């Protein structure tokens, strides 16, 4: 199992951070490998992820289920990724159905918010990734190599989104099957991108 | 009857030994039966010319030593196994005095290629940059995973243009790919040279074009085992004993015992006659599918259609005619004046002026004819490991791809013509290294027939245990119904080179079979996954 833990602090009240991390569009825009997504219902999202290995994009489908929300302090989610044409419905705890045992990567996410002051909040993010089946070794190799850079990219995007206090405007979710990456890319609003860059620059200057 | 074991393994080649070590360390009582006195299969190092000159008769270099899980998991360094990686991997001397040199380092390789073609140097670098990470993170780990369903590769790649281009490349032959990518005959030949040995893949095997990016990725670097290949065999042997396992040499398995449809042990020929050895949990065969199902399992115990399909498993298309030399000095190539690094190349392609040499050699091999010496594989192990000869002296080996059964006279003809053919091979080598004839102190020929005589598992002198063709790799090796290391007989498994990822010293078949056995037998998984 690969475990990752990050802690970030924001100069925002806990309620604002809580609202933004529960905004599926905001979070979708922050996930580096997510090419497209579909909101199934309030607790379930499906998507298409793509990881570059050299010049080759390796694509797989992903399903995530929100397991528990304890506003405004904690949210837990679980999901899985799968190489294949269609995602089978996850089990109640977000896990893959048993027939997918040969090619599954499972993950669990826990985000805890801790108020540091009325106007600042710390977010502790814990991620566990575990692969099963014949592709386990491959999943693990890719995750071990790629996670550090993906983690940094996620943090940058999250900071930009939260600092902007404006949710990025990805294309509207589709009601039907997950579109191909060319049809429904994730994108920021121009205002959001500009403000995000300003915030990043300020962060660097201020250390 | 012998004391029962939890698991019996048939064959003490490196795959059988590796699996035995893992299982023994998991707490199982493991016994390995080996027909020969010496364990290790192709890991043989012997004094066959003069005292003090140790010759690696089969396996000589090991490409996956650095990434083989067994090295780390079994702590083989603790049992005396140490690897050396020569920085210069392949040398290709040409009759016109030039030489192409493939280094472990990409830039040094591109510099050498650029002396033949700037365009090819760029193409080689681009190929490396496009695929090196993909090969490191996906292709290499896949060697140490049970084969996934063929559809998974397509599912992961087919959605993107780059992925589809790669899938298209996969469908081509290596020759078609090098012709598309490179203009220089020397560059094309140098790449294709690295496919036949140690991968068993010939230039025109359709569906194996992806091996060209694999070569350019430099992910598989050839290593030599310090002290000779047998040191790996001995290290595994010591590891097995230290883990509580047992190895019975000169114990030939004659029959797999099957009761109520389940494999329960083996019948073994010992020094005192036939004896039964029982396995409480599994019998694992490290020998090839043919021996396992057509000789060791009675015909009444297997459906005839499976037996027929096992008979159809295609063996290697070529064998190797070898000449082992004791030398008073190493070969000095005329082309060293063009590129001094040639002297340090681990593997030298002798008599490979262009791709047509490869085609000519294998056209002859396929027809059962003696090829005019060419596309030969030459090496001087003592350049990198002086311990394999007395101080100041050297050993060398020369491998010529050759047919097992000669059209006129069959395999037995090798006994009559071996020495004369060795003269011709050495003469061709000497045309590139003029000092060679006077440097030879002694020599020994090992023909394709000699290979089969010594190592029964290398049937028809094939060193890869089954052809490495598109229809017999990954989820189809050796047959689709046997590709996950299980067999139709409960309790009987496969772990040898006839399974994925195939021949060569990788430990991959054993490690993958281990994962299946772990699942089926609920074994304590003490190693890192």
Query: Quick one: which H or E segment has residue B126?
Result: helix B118-134
Query: CA B102 → CA B186, B268, B269, distances in Å?
Result: 11, 48, 48
Residues of chain A in contact with residue B133, where contact means CB-CB under 8 angstroms, are 53-54, 145
Query: CA B336 → CA B4, B94, B305, B325, distances in Å?
Result: 59, 10, 56, 21
Report the alpha-carbon distance of residue B98 to residue B334 in Å, rounded: 9
Query: Are residues A57 and B145, on separate chains, in Cβ contact within 8 Å?
Result: no
Query: Are residues A137 and B144, on separate chains, in Cβ contact within 8 Å?
Result: yes
Mutation target vs B (from A48, A58, A184; most B CBs, 10 A cutoff): A58
| Structure confidence at residue A135 (pLDDT) | 80
Strands B5-10 and B30-33, how do they pair? parallel
DSSP E strands: which ranges in chain A?
Answer: 2-10, 34-41, 44-53, 56-70, 74-82, 103-117, 120-133
Q: How far is A143 from chain B (nearest CA, A)?
A: 9
Query: Are residues A138 and B141, on separate chains, in Cβ contact within 8 Å?
Result: yes
How far apart, in Å, do the first and last CA atoms of chain A sit?
A: 33
B184-213 residues touching A, CB cutoff 8 A: none
The sign of the torsion formed by the CA atoms of B195, B197, B203, B205 equals negative
| Structure confidence at residue A99 (pLDDT) | 64
Mutation target vs A (from B131, B133, B474; most A CBs, 10 A cutoff): B133
Q: How far is A80 from chain B (nearest CA, A)?
A: 15
Report the alpha-carbon distance of residue B525 to residue B519 in Å, rounded: 10
Q: CB–CB of B478/B497 below 8 Å?
A: no
Greater pLDDT, B375 or A133:
B375
> DSSP per residue over B218-275, as a string?
T-S--EEETT-THHHHHHHHHHHHHTT-EEETT-EEEEEEEETTEEEEEEEEETTEEE
Query: Are residues B137 and A141, on separate chains, in Cβ contact within 8 Å?
Result: yes
- Phi, psi (degrees; rounded to nearest 5) at B259: -130, 135
The 3-class SS string of B374-402 reads CCEEEECHHHCCHHHCCCCCEEEEEEEEE
Phi-psi region of B410 (alpha: psi -120 to 50; beta: other; left: phi over 0): left
Residue in this structure with the two tokens 């780990």, named with its chain if needed: B141
Mutation target vs A (from B134, B153, B214, B516; most A CBs, 10 A cutoff): B134
Closest CA to A191 of A153, A155, A163, A149: A163
Count, in order, helices (H) and strands (E) of chain B.
Answer: 18, 19
How far apart, in Å, do the first and last CA atoms of chain B sit?
A: 37
Q: How far is A178 from chain B (nearest CA, A)?
A: 13
Nearest-by-CA chain B residue for A51: B156
Query: Are residues A141 and B155, on separate chains, in Cβ contact within 8 Å?
Result: no
B123-162 residues touching A, CB cutoff 8 A: 129-138, 140-142, 144-149, 151-152, 155-157, 159-160, 162
DSSP E strands: which ranges in B391-476?
Answer: 394-402, 440-446
pLDDT at A8 over 60: yes
Mutation target vs B (from A129, A138, A139, A140; most B CBs, 10 A cutoff): A138
Q: How much helix, strand and coil, in percent to the nearest 5, is found in chain A?
A: 30, 40, 30
pLDDT at A186 over 80: no
pLDDT at A181 over 70: no
Nearest-by-CA chain A residue for B163: A56
- Phi, psi (degrees; rounded to nearest 5) at A191: -60, -45
Cis amide prior to B198 (ω within 30 degrees): yes
Query: Are residues A103 and B152, on separate chains, in Cβ contact within 8 Å?
Result: yes
Within 10 A of B448 (CB to CB), how many other CB atoms are there?
27
Closest CA to B469 of B360, B339, B286, B315: B315
- Return the SS3 of B511: helix
Query: Are residues A59 and B138, on separate chains, in Cβ contact within 8 Å?
Result: no
Can you tell me the mean pLDDT for A45-72? 90
| Structure confidence at residue B413 (pLDDT) | 97
Please calculate the CA angle B353-B359-B365 and round it to the nearest 5 degrees: 120
| Structure confidence at residue A137 (pLDDT) | 87
Tokens representing residue A157 in the block: 């995007």
CB within 8 A of B28, min separation 6: which ones? Answer: B5, B6, B7, B281, B523
Can you tell me the mean pLDDT for A116-136? 88
Among B146, B155, B166, whose Cβ lies nearest the Cβ of A84?
B155
Tokens representing residue A22 in the block: 């529960």
Report the alpha-carbon distance of residue B433 to residue B360 in Å, rounded: 23
CB within 8 A of B157, min separation 6: which ones? Answer: A56, A58, A59, B163, B164, B166, B167
Closest CA to A43 of A64, A26, A66, A21: A66
Q: CB–CB of B157/B139 below 8 Å?
A: no
Report the alpha-carbon distance of residue A23 to residue A11 in Å, rounded: 18
Residue A86: pLDDT band by 50, 70, 90 thresholds?
low
Report the alpha-carbon distance of residue B161 to residue B169 in Å, rounded: 12
| pTM for this predicted structure | 0.90
Q: What is the ipTM of this complex?
A: 0.83
How many residue contacts between A and B have a Cβ separation below 8 Å? Answer: 89
pLDDT, one tens digit for every residue, chain B (529 residues): 789 999 999 999 999 999 999 999 999 999 999 999 999 999 999 999 999 999 999 998 999 988 899 999 999 999 999 999 999 999 999 999 999 999 999 999 999 999 999 999 999 999 999 999 999 999 999 999 999 888 887 888 888 899 999 999 999 999 999 999 999 999 999 999 999 988 899 999 999 999 999 999 999 999 999 999 999 999 999 999 999 999 999 999 999 999 999 999 999 999 899 999 999 999 999 999 999 999 999 888 888 999 999 999 999 999 999 999 999 999 999 999 999 999 999 999 999 999 999 999 999 999 999 999 999 999 999 999 999 999 999 999 999 999 999 999 999 999 999 999 999 999 999 999 999 999 999 999 999 999 999 999 999 999 999 999 999 999 999 999 999 999 999 999 999 999 999 999 999 999 999 999 999 999 999 998 6
Residues of chain B in contact with residue A53, where contact means CB-CB under 8 angstroms, are 133-134, 137-138
Within 10 A of B233 (CB to CB), how many other CB atoms are there?
26
Residue in this structure with the two tokens 């490290």, named with its chain if needed: B286
| Structure confidence at residue A190 (pLDDT) | 44
């Amino acid at each position: 199992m690969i475990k990752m833990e990050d802690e970030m602090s924001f100069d925002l009240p806990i309620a604002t951070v809580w609202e933004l991390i529960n905004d599926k569009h905001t979070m979708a825009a922050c996930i580096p490998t997510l090419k497209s997504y579909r909101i199934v219902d309030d607790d379930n999202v499906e998507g298409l992820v793509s990881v570059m290995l050299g010049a080759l994009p390796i694509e797989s489908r992903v399903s995530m289920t929100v397991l528990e929300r304890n506003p405004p302090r904690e949210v837990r989610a679980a999901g899985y990724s799968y190489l294949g044409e269609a995602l089978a419905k996850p089990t109640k705890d977000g896990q893959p159905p048993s027939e997918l045992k040969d090619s599954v990567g499972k993950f669990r996410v826990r985000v805890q918010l801790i108020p540091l002051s009325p106007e600042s909040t710390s977010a502790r993010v814990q991620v566990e990734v575990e692969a099963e089946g014949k592709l386990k070794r491959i999943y693990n190799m890719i995750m071990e190599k790629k996670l550090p850079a993906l983690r940094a990219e996620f943090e940058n995007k999250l900071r930009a989104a939260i600092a902007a206090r404006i949710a990025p405007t990805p294309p509207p979710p589709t009601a039907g099957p997950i579109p191909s990456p060319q049809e429904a890319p994730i994108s920021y609003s121009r205002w959001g991108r500009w403000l995000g860059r300003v915030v990043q620059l300020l962060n660097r200057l201020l250390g | 009857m012998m004391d029962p074991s939890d698991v019996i393994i048939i064959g003490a080649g490196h795959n059988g030994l590796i699996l035995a070590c893992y299982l023994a360390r998991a707490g199982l009582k493991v016994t390995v039966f080996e027909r020969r006195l010496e364990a290790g299969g192709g890991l043989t190092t012997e004094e066959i010319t003069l005292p003090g000159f140790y010759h690696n008769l089969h396996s000589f270099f090991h490409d996956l030593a650095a990434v083989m899980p067994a090295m780390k998991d079994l702590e083989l360094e603790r049992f005396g196994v140490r690897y050396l990686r020569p920085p210069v991997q392949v040398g290709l001397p040409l009759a016109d005095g030039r030489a192409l040199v493939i280094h472990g380092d990409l830039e040094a390789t591109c510099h050498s290629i650029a002396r033949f073609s700037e365009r090819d140097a760029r193409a080689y670098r681009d190929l490396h940059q496009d695929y090196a990470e993909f090969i490191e993170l996906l292709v290499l780990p896949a060697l140490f995973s049970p084969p996934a369903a063929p559809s998974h590769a397509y599912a992961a790649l087919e959605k993107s243009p780059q992925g589809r281009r790669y899938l298209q490349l996969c469908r081509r032959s290596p020759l078609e790919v090098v012709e598309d990518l490179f203009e220089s005959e020397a560059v094309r030949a140098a790449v294709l040279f690295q496919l036949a040995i140690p991968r068993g893949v010939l230039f025109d095997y359709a569906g194996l074009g992806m091996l060209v990016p694999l070569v350019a990725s430099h992910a598989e670097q050839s290593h030599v085992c310090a002290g000779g290949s047998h040191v790996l065999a001995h290290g595994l042997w010591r590891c097995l004993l230290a883990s509580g396992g047992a190895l019975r040499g000169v114990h030939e398995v004659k029959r797999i015992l099957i009761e109520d449809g389940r494999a329960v042990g083996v019948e073994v020929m010992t020094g005192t006659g036939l004896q039964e050895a029982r396995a409480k949990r599994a019998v694992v065969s490290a020998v090839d599918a043919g021996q396992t199902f057509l000789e060791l399992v009675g015909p009444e115990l297997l459906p005839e259609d499976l037996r027929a399909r096992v008979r159809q498993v295609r063996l290697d298309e070529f064998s190797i005619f070898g000449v082992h030399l004791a030398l008073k000095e190493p070969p000095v190539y005329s082309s060293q004046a063009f590129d001094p690094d040639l002297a340090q190349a681990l593997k030298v392609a002798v008599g490979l002026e262009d791709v047509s040499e490869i085609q000519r050699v294998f056209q002859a091999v396929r027809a059962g004819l003696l090829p005019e010496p060419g596309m030969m594989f030459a090496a001087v192990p003592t350049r990198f490991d002086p311990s394999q000869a007395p101080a100041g002296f050297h050993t060398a080996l020369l491998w010529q791809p050759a047919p097992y059964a000669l059209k006129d006279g069959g395999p037995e003809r090798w006994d009559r013509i071996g020495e004369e053919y060795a003269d011709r091979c050495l003469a061709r080598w000497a045309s590139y290294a003029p000092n060679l004839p006077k440097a030879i102190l002694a020599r020994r020929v090992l023909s394709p027939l000699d290979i089969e005589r010594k190592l029964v598992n290398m049937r028809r002198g094939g060193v890869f245990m089954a052809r490495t063709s598109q229809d017999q790799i990954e989820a189809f090796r050796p047959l689709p119904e046997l590709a996950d290391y299980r067999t139709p007989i409960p309790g009987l498994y496969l772990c040898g080179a006839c399974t994925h990822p195939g021949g060569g010293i990788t430990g991959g078949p054993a490690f993958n079979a281990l994962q299946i056995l772990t699942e089926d037998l609920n074994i304590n998984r003490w190693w890192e996954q």
